[in-house]
């Protein structure tokens, strides 16, 4: 056990990594020892401005960083020698190759949803399987969409209401910072396979989940929208279903009657609330349109893809290092430090 703060590294200071780094800094029981990346432009210069020690993930990157005036604290190996756990938020394919490096350095590691379950043999959503991650050397925080599915269907399942679920996922085309060089425009593209990968991915965490997902990619850049039809185990009321969601963490309610009518309204609200980067860490579930007819429930929710996995990464740090053995307590520490809410 640790009688000091957990020492954390973030490798890959992009959309996910920069948010996880800030979230680590917000925790009382963690210390951000440094962040590592390969770029030397504005993206990593922000880390310097925030006072985060910057390390070069590969040798050549260190040279370019120094030339760009970035004070380089050392190599990735140097960083790994100073930490207990590394959150790897590098792009797909890059990340998988890092696992052996982390193991050789004796550092626990957390990967992201772009990686396969088979890389770590364990996938993570705090409210469902915190305990099985305790003491492991590595895990994978599942993708934004899968995280939302596990949170919501997990909530219905633990309250005994879930028989089977069918969901349509309207995905964002690309992340806003990349919209000058990727993404689609003026069309909607159905994915080639049904089920899309998110349903099977959720089963890496809840194996007996009866779920099928259909995904389409739309031409906007921020947030996914999920529309779900759920067969319940019995005839139920709206309140039964809402109570099940209320009993689970990290689901917050949006109301069209209050003017939150679309993805953009929620984003504006998050910014106005002064949340960092306008982030929504919770599943944003529309309360007033949720409908129940007999044993069928229907609802829509918003997934802020860039932020929803951030609290899960923080809990994964506590689970792997064992600094907190109680998942519920870890969730509440994380949520309090970040400022998650139940209602907007
Ligand atoms: N963007 C999202 O909405 C989102 C949501 C959930 C999960 N994820 C997953 O998170 C992971 C990271 O995605 P992202 O969107 O943050 O990517 P990103 O491209 O925004 O960030 C990746 C960062 O890694 C850096 N990098 C590239 N090669 C590197 C190397 N060899 N060593 C160290 N750093 C390197 C890049 O410079 C960049 O800063 C992926 O597995 C992705 O699937 C992304």
The pLDDT tens digits of the residues spanning 18-77 come to: 999 999 999 999 999 999 999 999 999 999 999 999 999 999 999 999 999 999 999 999
Query: Can you give the pTM of this predicted structure?
Result: 0.98
Q: Say if ligand 1 is within 6 A of residue 58 CB.
A: yes
State in Å: Cα 156 to ligand 1 middle.
31
Is pLDDT above 80 for 306? yes
Q: Say if ligand 1 is within 6 A of residue 16 CB.
A: yes
Q: Confidence class of residue 332 from pLDDT cuts 50, 70 and 90?
A: very high
Read off the pLDDT of residues 124-180 as tens digits, 9 standing for 90 and up. 999 999 999 999 999 999 999 999 999 999 999 999 999 999 999 999 999 999 999
Q: Confidence class of residue 1 from pLDDT cuts 50, 70 and 90?
A: low
Helix H segments across the chain? 15-25, 42-49, 59-67, 76-80, 94-104, 117-120, 126-133, 144-158, 198-202, 238-246, 263-272, 310-321, 327-338
Q: Look at residue 126 in the predicted model and tell me its pLDDT.
A: 98
Q: 285 with 303: CB under 8 angstroms?
A: no
CB neighbour list of residue 178: distance below 8 Å, 6 or more residues apart: none
Q: Say if ligand 1 is within 6 A of residue 14 CB.
A: yes
223 is catalytic: no
Q: 98 with 140: CB under 8 angstroms?
A: no
For every residue of 153-210, DSSP letters joined together read HHHHHHTT-EEEEEEEEEE-SS-GGGTTTS---S--EE-SSSS-THHHHHTTTSTT--
What spatial distance separates the first Cα and last Cα of the chain, rounded to whole Å?
Answer: 38
State in Å: Cα 242 to ligand 1 middle.
34
State in Å: Cα 13 to ligand 1 middle.
7
Q: Say if ligand 1 is within 6 A of residue 244 CB.
A: no
Segment 298-302 shows an average pLDDT of 98
Q: Look at residue 15 in the predicted model and tell me its pLDDT.
A: 98
With a pLDDT cut of 90, the percent of the chain lying above it is 99
Average per-residue pLDDT in the chain? Answer: 97
- Which residue in the list 144, 225, 230, 320 is annotated as catalytic? 144
- The DSSP H or E segment spanning 212 is strand 211-217
Cα(102)–Cα(139) distance, integer angstroms: 12
State in Å: Cα 94 to ligand 1 middle.
9
Is pLDDT above 90 for 256? yes
Q: Look at residue 93 in the predicted model and tell me its pLDDT.
A: 85
Read off the pLDDT of residues 179-235 as tens digits, 9 standing for 90 and up. 999 999 999 999 999 999 999 999 999 999 999 999 999 999 999 999 999 999 999
State in Å: Cα 16 to ligand 1 middle.
6
Is pLDDT above 70 for 344? yes
Closest ligand 1 atom to residue 112 Cα is 41
Q: Say if ligand 1 is within 6 A of residue 62 CB.
A: no
Kindly report the protein residue whose alpha carbon is nearest to atom 13 of ligand 1.
Answer: 91
Q: Confidence class of residue 304 from pLDDT cuts 50, 70 and 90?
A: very high
Q: Say if ligand 1 is within 6 A of residue 142 CB.
A: no
Q: Say if ligand 1 is within 6 A of residue 127 CB.
A: no
């Amino acid at each position: 056990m640790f009688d000091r703060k957990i020492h954390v590294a973030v490798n890959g200071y992009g959309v996910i990594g920069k948010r996880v780094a800030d979230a680590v800094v917000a925790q009382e029981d963690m210390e951000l020892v440094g962040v590592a990346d390969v770029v030397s432009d504005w993206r990593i210069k922000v880390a310097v401005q925030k006072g985060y020690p910057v390390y070069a993930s590969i040798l050549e990157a260190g040279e370019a960083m120094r030339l760009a005036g970035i004070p380089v604290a050392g190599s990735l190996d140097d960083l790994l020698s100073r930490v207990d756990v590394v959150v790897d938020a590098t792009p797909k394919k890059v990340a998988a190759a890092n696992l052996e490096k982390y193991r050789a350095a004796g550092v626990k590691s957390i990967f992201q949803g772009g990686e396969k379950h088979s890389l770590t043999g364990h996938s993570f959503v705090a409210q469902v399987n915190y305990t099985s991650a305790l003491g492991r050397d590595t895990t994978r925080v599942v993708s934004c969409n899968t995280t939302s599915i596990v949170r919501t269907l997990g909530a219905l399942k633990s309250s005994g209401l879930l028989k089977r679920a069918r969901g349509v996922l309207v995905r964002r085309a690309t992340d806003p910072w990349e919209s000058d060089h990727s993404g689609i425009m003026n069309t909607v593209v159905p994915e080639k396979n049904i089920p899309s990968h998110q349903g099977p991915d959720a089963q890496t965490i809840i194996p007996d989940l009866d779920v099928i997902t259909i995904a389409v990619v739309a031409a906007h850049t921020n947030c996914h929208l999920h529309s779900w039809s759920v067969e319940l185990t019995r005839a139920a009321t709206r309140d039964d279903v809402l109570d099940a969601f209320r009993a689970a963490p990290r689901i917050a309610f949006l109301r069209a009657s209050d003017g939150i009518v679309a993805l953009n309204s929620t984003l504006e609200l998050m910014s106005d609330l002064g949340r960092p980067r306008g982030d929504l860490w919770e599943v944003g579930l529309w309360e007033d349109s949720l409908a129940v007819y007999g044993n069928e429930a229907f609802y829509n929710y918003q997934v802020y893809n860039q932020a929803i996995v951030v609290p899960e990464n923080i809990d994964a740090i506590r689970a792997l290092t064992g600094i907190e053995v109680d998942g519920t307590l870890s969730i509440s520490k994380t949520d309090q430090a970040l400022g998650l809410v139940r209602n907007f």
